[in-house]
A and B are shown apart, each in its own frame.
Chain A
Amino acid sequence: MTRIAEKPNMHAARMEAVKPLSVLDVNGNVASEVEMPQLNNNQLREIMRKMVFTRIWDQRAISLGRQGRLGFYAPVSGQEASMIGSQSALDKEDFILPGYRDIPQIVWHGLPLYQAFLYSRGHQHGGQIPAGVNVLIPQIIIGAQIVQTVGVAMGLKKRGKNNVAITFTGDGGSSQGDFYEGLNFAGAFKLPAIFVVQNNGYAISVPRHKQTTAETIAQKSLAAGIAGVQVDGMDVLAVYKAVADARERAINGGGPTLIETLTYRFGPHSLSGDDPTRYRSQTESGEWEPKDPLIRFRKFLEKKNLWNEADENRVIEEAKDAVTDAIKKAESIEKMTIPQMIDSMYENTPPYLQEQMKQFSAWEGK
């Protein structure tokens, strides 16, 4: 009797040895001309601007968090290439369904920074996405955004739009049932959906190898019968390319894509008491530092005379000012009241809730 794994079609079901897509090498030299995305100089500079801006904003957000001026916040430094490479490849009409860490993508897609801060502080106005900005408020429930993406993608398709729905989760998130359901639905309906798994090696304290014994997360696309690709997530051009390709495939009726970006978060999981030294070694963090996506892309741009120290300093100042303004604005927004919140619970407030509004107004008046 042949053992099942020896049957040839079982081998066929396994992925070819996966080699992550990469465009730039660690020194910022072009490693693969064929994969080089078509971007003009302004676009290249804009990507760098967004990455530097995001790094500064992240550092400032961490310190604002420590001062108690922000609420829940999940640091992003290290993941800029993955986040901004993705967002930069999108059309303004594409719809982003973020996880809790994916604030940069939705801010660069149009959510005002001060609202991101308000969201963090637990203020309702943070989630009032301006009209014309196609993003959802960050999702806390890991996996919920993935199945919802399928619905948005189906809606876009039914409406005849040439747009995609894109969602983000982490290596941990790829364990949720919702992840598999989302991929499978998107495949079954051939929907214009893009699923990005930002594999930063950890789900809070649990390392990737304890999350799944699959060799790669990209290969989880196989079971759903959809395209899958693994990308060097510290290489912004590679991420851009993967998302741009997936987008093109999707709007041309080629169906969804799963993209795994290999990345690293330099900071703690969140500002809510996480201590990464309990589960990550210094050697490991040290090994990732030279792969910093900002360093690599800066080298690339500098070689083309597209970036210099003055450019960088200008963006740093711009970012500092923008963060200062945004937090000031967030802090100046009127505090919420319970009656106000009751008012937004239903389109038409039912009588028993109107009574509660009165009761709470009386209490708040005291």
Chain B
Amino acid sequence: MAQMTMIQAITDAMRVELAKDENVLIFGEDVGHYGGVFRATEGLQKEFGEDRVFDTPLAESGIGGLAVGLGLQGFRPVAEIQFSGFMFEAMDSICGQSARMRIRSGGRFNSPIVFRSPYGVGVKAAEYHTDNLEGLLVQTPGLKVVIPSNPYDAKGLLISAIRDNDPVFFLEHMKLYRSFRQEVPEGEYTVPLGKANVVREGNDLTVIAYGAMVQTSLKAAEEIEKARGVKAEVIDLRTLSPLDTDTIVESVKKTNRAVVVQEAQQSAGIAAEVIARLNERAILHLEAPVLRIASPDISFTFPSVEDQWVPNPQRVVEGMNRVLDF
């Protein structure tokens, strides 16, 4: 096994699938010779040739449509949207077209596409680069939405996504790209889509998070354990659509209290959906209202205030305390 950063694990997943299935194609802006602005596709064009890994002209709507069309021809496109805020230009292909291909054709056609895009607060990138847009995507039936929080999951989830016959939007948090390494197996393995992961066990309350907020929540869990001996269970959702309701409900049945942490703006987000499901399936097990810790409802992070914008461990601890002391 090798020690890999998340970005290396992502490259490795694409390499494994390019080698395994000749229908896998990688394209987007600067992904070829240059290897992507984050080097996510580094070396892949050299290894697999320009037919399989190629630059497109600068047009996200074109990239999205190309993916949809290639999907109709039985290819498995892995299309990169260079930064998350640029997905708006491709929104019709992503949400309006690829996600409806199966239902519109009564199952005759599908969209075995992976859209990949970096996103996420904390690296002080320019505006439109860091936007947390998973809420928009999750509102789209037919589309799967995946956000890994570590190198091992990133590789296994991306391989699953590429093999999946439905369109998957795979969001990669920029701050996690190179922040730590992990043991990642060589070759192929999968982490199933639609399955959350209990990353820390505990009996006193459940913290539900995804993406970079998993690290933040783990820190918060350690802090609160030190401060008042409370054992928090931390769940990494990994897939936001379809959401793994069973895992969160099981955990809350055990702990009776929960906090949901998301980096995205608060209103109508993933946290709201998680809370709704807990209300539907676990209300009688709850000892306190479920709280959400999120960003303010302002349109994007000005890099100057990112640190105040994004939930930090202190804010999570404060939320946990409120739930515990209700």
**Interchain CB contact (< 8 A) of B89 among A143, A273, A279:** A143
Asked if A122 contacts B55 (CB within 8 A), the reply is no
Q: Which of B57, B58, B266, B314 has the most CB of A within 10 A?
A: B58
Q: Is A15 an interface residue (CB 8 A)?
A: no
Indicate whether A141 reaches chain B with its CB closer than 8 angstroms: yes
Q: Does A108 lie at the interface of the complex (its beta carbon under 8 Å from any beta carbon of B)?
A: no
Q: Return B236 CB to nearest CB of chain A, in Å.
A: 25
- Segment from A83-91, A293-301, A337-345 that makes contact with B: A337-345
Contact status of A211 and B58, CB under 8 A, knowing A72-B125, A203-B29, A341-B305: yes
Determine whether A173 belongs to the interface, using a CB cutoff of 8 Å to chain B: yes
What mask results when residues 324 to 366 of chain A are scored 1 for a CB within 8 Å of chain B, else 0?
A: 0000000000011110011001000000110010001001101
- New contact pairs (17) apart from A121-B303, A356-B296, CB-CB < 8 Å: A71-B304, A122-B127, A124-B302, A140-B129, A141-B89, A141-B128, A173-B58, A175-B57, A203-B58, A206-B58, A211-B57, A278-B33, A336-B302, A342-B296, A345-B298, A360-B308, A366-B314
Nearest 7 Cβ contacts at the A-B interface: A122-B303, A205-B34, A72-B126, A175-B57, A172-B58, A140-B128, A122-B302
Query: Is the Cβ of B58 less than 8 Å from the Cβ of A175?
Result: yes
A49 to B8, CA, bound (A): 48
Q: How far is the CA of A210 from the CA of B32 in the complex (A)?
A: 11
B192-246: which have CB < 8 Å to A? none
Given contacts A203-B29, A273-B37, A341-B298, contact A140 B305 (CB under 8 A): no
Whether B127 pairs with A206 at a CB distance below 8 angstroms is: no
User: Assuming the A-B contacts A279-B34, A360-B296, are A338 and B309 also in contact, with contact meaning beta carbons closer than 8 angstroms in the complex?
Assistant: yes
A173 to B86 Cα, complex, angstroms: 13
* Cα–Cα distance between A2 and B29 once the two chains are bound (Å): 39
Cβ of B97 within 8 Å of any chain A Cβ, yes or no, is: no
24 pairs of residues in contact across A and B, judged by CB atoms under 8 Å: A72-B125, A72-B126, A72-B303, A122-B124, A122-B126, A140-B127, A175-B59, A176-B58, A204-B29, A204-B34, A204-B37, A205-B33, A206-B58, A211-B58, A274-B37, A278-B34, A279-B34, A335-B304, A336-B304, A337-B308, A338-B296, A353-B297, A356-B297, A364-B308
Q: Which of B279-326 contact A (CB under 8 A)?
A: 296-299, 301-306, 308-309, 314-315
A338 touches B308 (CB 8 A): yes
Q: Choose among B57, B124, B297, B306 the residue that contacts A212 (Cβ–Cβ < 8 A).
A: B57
Is there a chain B Cβ closer than 8 Å to A185's Cβ?
no
* A272 sits at the interface (CB 8 A): yes
Report how far A178 CA is from B308 CA in the complex, Å. 35
Asked if A71 contacts B126 (CB within 8 A), the reply is yes
Tell me, in angstroms, the Cα distance from A366 to B318 when the chains sit together: 12
Contact with A along B44-65 (1 / 0, CB 8 A): 0000000000010111011000
Main SS at interface, chain B: loop
B39 closest partner in A (C-beta): A273
CB contact under 8 A between A206 and B61, given known A121-B303, A356-B297: no
How many A residues are at the interface, by size bracket?
Answer: 35 or more
| Contact status B304-A121, CB under 8 Å | yes
Give the chain B neighbours of A203 by CB distance below 8 A. 29, 58
Query: What CA separation (Å) do A142 and B37 show in the bound complex?
Result: 16
B298/A141 in contact, CB under 8 A: no
What's the least CB distance linking B259 to chain A, in Å? 15
> Which chain A residues lie closer than 8 Å to B43 at the CB level?
none
**Interface centre among A71, A178, A212, A336, by most B CB within 10 Å?**
A71
Residues of A within 8 Å of B267, CB to CB, are 352
Q: Cβ of B80 < 8 Å from any Cβ of A?
A: no
Interface: A290 (CB within 8 A): no
Distance (whole angstroms) from the CB of A12 to the closest CB of chain B: 27
Query: CB of B30 within 8 A of chain A?
Result: yes
Shortest Cβ distance from residue A75 to the other chain B in the assembled complex, whole angstroms: 14
Shortest Cβ distance from residue A277 to the other chain B in the assembled complex, whole angstroms: 11
A157-193 interface bits toward B, Cβ cutoff 8 Å, 1 = contact, 0 = none: 0000000000000001101111000000000000000
Q: Which residues of B sit under 8 angstroms from A71, Cβ to Cβ? A: 124, 126, 303-304
